[in-house]
Amino acid sequence: MKEEAGVDLPQALLSGPSAFIPTEEILEEGAAQEVMSEALWSEGRVDHISTMMGLHPTYLTCFLRTHDALLQLDGPLPLSWRHFIIILASARHQCSYLVQHHSSAFLLAGGDESWLRGLHCAPPKIQHLQTLNKLLAHRPWIITQEHIQELVCPGAEARWSLAELIQAIVLMSHAHSLASFVWGCGVLPEPEQSGDESLQMCSPTESCCAQDKARNQQEWSEAVNEVKLLMEKMMIVQQQGEEFTQEEMVTRFERERTESLLEPSDVQRSVLPDYFSRFVVDADFTYQDFSPRGVQAPPTMRAQDYSWEDHGFSLMNRLYGEMAQLLDEKFQVVCALTYNTMAMHSHVDTSTLRKAIWNYIHCIYGIRYDDYNYGGVNQLLERSLKVYVKTVACHPEKTTPRMYFSFWRQFRHSEKVHVNLLLMEARLQAALLYALRAITRYMT
Q: Please tell me the distance from the alpha carbon of residue 167 to that of residue 221, in angstroms, as a whole number.
A: 50
| Residue among 93, 79, 164, 96 at smallest CA distance from 128 | 164
User: Taking a C-beta distance cutoff of 8 angstroms, is the pair 343, 415 a contact?
Assistant: yes
* CA dihedral angle for residue 409, residue 415, residue 419, residue 422, rounded to 10 degrees: -170
Q: Please tell me the distance from the alpha carbon of residue 425 to that of residue 245, in angstroms, as a whole number.
A: 30
* CA dihedral angle for residue 120, residue 121, residue 122, residue 127, rounded to 10 degrees: 10
Cβ neighbours of 120 (radius 10 Å):
10
> Can you tell me whether residue 295 is helix, strand or coil?
coil
Q: Please tell me the distance from the alpha carbon of residue 210 to that of residue 22, in angstroms, as a whole number.
A: 14
User: Taking a C-beta distance cutoff of 8 angstroms, is the pair 143, 299 a contact?
Assistant: no
What is the residue type of 348? V
Q: Please tell me the distance from the alpha carbon of residue 438 to that of residue 444, in angstroms, as a whole number.
A: 10
Measured CA to CA in angstroms, residue 273 lies from 94, 277, 279, 347 at distances of: 9, 6, 11, 48
Q: Please tell me the distance from the alpha carbon of residue 242 to that of residue 234, in angstroms, as a whole number.
A: 16
Angle between helices 162-184 and 96-108 (to 10 degrees): 140
Catalytic residue among 62, 95, 363, 394: 95
User: Taking a C-beta distance cutoff of 8 angstroms, is the pair 137, 430 a contact?
Assistant: no
Measured CA to CA in angstroms, residue 353 lies from 10, 29, 232, 249, 342 at distances of: 27, 22, 12, 19, 10
Q: What is the CA radius of gyration of the chain?
A: 22
Cβ neighbours of 18 (radius 10 Å):
23
- Active-site residue, 62 included: no
Name the DSSP class of 379.
H
Query: At a CB cut-off of 8 Å and minimum separation 6, what does 382 contact?
Result: 407
Q: What stretches of 185-279 show up as alpha helix (H) in DSSP?
A: 204-208, 217-239, 246-260, 274-277
Residues classed as catalytic? 95
